[in-house]
Amino acid sequence: MSAWNRRRWLGLALVALQPLPARAQSAGFDHDHAAWTALLRRHVRRVRAGQATQVAYPGVKADRAALKAYLDSLSAVTPATFAGWSQAQRQAFLINAYNAFTVELVLSRYPDLKSIKDLGSLLGSPWKPKWIALLGAKVSLDDIEHAMLRKRGDYDDPRVHFSVNCASIGCPALREEAFVAARLDAQMEEQTLRFMSDRTRNRFNVQRGRLELSKIFDWYGEDFRLGHRGIPSLPAFAARYATQLADSPADRERIRAGDVDIAFTDYDWALNDAP
């Protein structure tokens, strides 16, 4: 072997021994979340023209090994790798993680529960225990939603409330595909439109002359008053969906003008189980 070739091979060997940067290490992670999409497409049922969904939990339980494999792939992502991803990749990852680990939590006692709240106790909620291995720590569902997805300055997107699913009828639909970075904005916007179109949870009450919105807007009203994504207030957000919330042109104009009282509907905590 010539001296030039020896130097060339030595250089290649030294490069191979160098630690990979975080972005290169992430190459093995599937940002399409194909395994999660496959599960969702098999077991999520659209109802009311796609405004809501139900989950065939017996089918997911039969596919528990596939779900566990996907959860393990999420748990294997290191903080350094996560930090090297784009903002959209991080946001999609966290939304999918919340939804997938929620399904796993339901399966931990299914079919012996009528609501995810049955998994809590008199002194605690099912969202607070730190049982999820994620980003090098043990975290809770609340940690993923509030400390990560809703952390000020990270994503600042109130549409997250229509993208994460709490396994309840009152919750926005569990999307029948994974969230992916390349289509994240469109997916989150569609989730919002679907939820705001659902008259069982959001509507203009003609008899009472008021706008009735999901309790989500009461619990997380602050997120709709911070100006994120050009949303300065809850009435301004509702105005964007006046067509979905009311039938008559006059009522729609009242909503667009913000000339309506707002009340909040009861939240249905029953499990979103497919019959």
Band (227; pLDDT cuts 50, 70, 90): confident
Segment 259-265 mean pLDDT: 96
Dihedral angle at the C-alpha atoms of 228, 232, 237, 239, nearest 10 degrees?
Answer: -150
Segment 217-223 mean pLDDT: 95
Task: Please give the pLDDT value at position 2.
Answer: 46
Return the structure tokens found at 174: 């569990």
Segment 213-224 mean pLDDT: 96
Q: Is the pLDDT of residue 19 over 80?
A: no
Task: Please give the pLDDT value at position 240.
Answer: 96
Among the listed residues 170, 159, 139, 132, the one whose alpha carbon sits nearest the alpha carbon of residue 220: 159
Cβ-proximal residues to 131 (8 Å cutoff; 6+ apart), any chain: 138, 140
Band (221; pLDDT cuts 50, 70, 90): very high
Q: Is the pLDDT of residue 5 over 60?
A: no
Beta-bridge partners for 115: 270
Q: In Å, how far from its chain's centre is CA 100?
A: 9
Segment 99-110 mean pLDDT: 98
Q: Is the pLDDT of residue 4 over 90?
A: no
Segment 8-27 mean pLDDT: 38
Q: Which residue has the higher pLDDT, 87 or 28?
A: 87
Segment 209-214 mean pLDDT: 97
Task: Please give the pLDDT value at position 121.
Answer: 73
Q: Is the pLDDT of residue 9 over 60?
A: no
Q: Is the pLDDT of residue 207 over 90?
A: yes
Q: Is the pLDDT of residue 226 over 50?
A: yes
Among the listed residues 115, 109, 81, 96, the one whose alpha carbon sits nearest the alpha carbon of residue 40: 96
| Average pLDDT in the chain | 90
The alpha carbon dihedral of 249, 253, 256, 259 has a sign of negative
- Low-confidence winner among 73-82, 154-163, 222-231 (lowest mean pLDDT): 222-231
Return the structure tokens found at 179: 């969230």
d(CA 242, CA 256): 6
Q: Is the pLDDT of residue 228 over 80?
A: yes
Q: Give percent of the chain above pLDDT 70.
A: 89
Task: Please give the pLDDT value at position 16.
Answer: 35
d(CA 33, CA 30): 5
Neighbours of 72 (CB within 10 A): 10
Task: Please give the pLDDT value at position 12.
Answer: 36
CB 191 within 8 A of CB 162: yes
CB 174 within 8 A of CB 181: no
